[in-house]
Amino acid sequence: MKIIAFVGDSESGKTRLIARLVAELKERGLTVAVVKHCSHGFDFGDAEKDSSKFLAAGADGVALAAPGEIAVLRRMECESDLAALAREQFGAADIVLVEGGKRNVGLKKIEVLRKDSRGGIKTRREELVAVVADYPAVPKMPTFHPDDVSKLANWLLKHLPGGKNSCRQDSKTPRRQKL
């Protein structure tokens, strides 16, 4: 499994880029998952929803199951290791795209920049593998325009560590799998 984080300022275009990249990779027959880092927390429903009532009552976890999909909420005492979360939850995926996670040490990152970005590159050099920017951003660093999704996908598949998924049981496992 390949894992890559997309980091950058709010409104830099991370979500739009990842959504387009998901579509591109799925079109190529890959299984793709996304982990969204929510640094300010998240709300999975209003206070009247059953899941909110269970969490308010002190449940350590709540799973929501519907035809064809599930969602799991678990309380944690510390900051999530996003790469470990990706491997745990999406081990069958060919590639996991992480939105956010700039503080997750060791996670390879692509920084997404816009002309009006505040301060340029903020990612540690040893974690930065490429840049997506709407202007010439970093010399001697693979740089992609936000509209060059196909070129970015080609680069990710060629250069990211990982490779064919080791979780597949045999060669008869279909290439497309629902996560």
Nearest to residue 101, comparing CAs of 13, 35, 33?
35
Consecutive H or E run containing 129:
strand 128-133
The rounded mean pLDDT for the chain is 83
pLDDT confidence tier of residue 163, bands split at 50, 70 and 90: low
Query: ∠ at Cα 8 (127, 90), nearest 5°?
Result: 65
Tokens of 103: 């503080």
Which pLDDT value is given to residue 64? 86
pTM over 0.75: yes
CATH 3.40.50.1110 fits 2-37+81-159, yes or no: no
For the chain, how many residues are written? Answer: 179
Domain ranges of the chain: 2-37+81-159, 48-79
The segment with the largest mean pLDDT, out of 33-47, 89-103, 113-127, 152-166, is 89-103
The segment with the largest mean pLDDT, out of 29-33, 38-42, 163-167, is 29-33
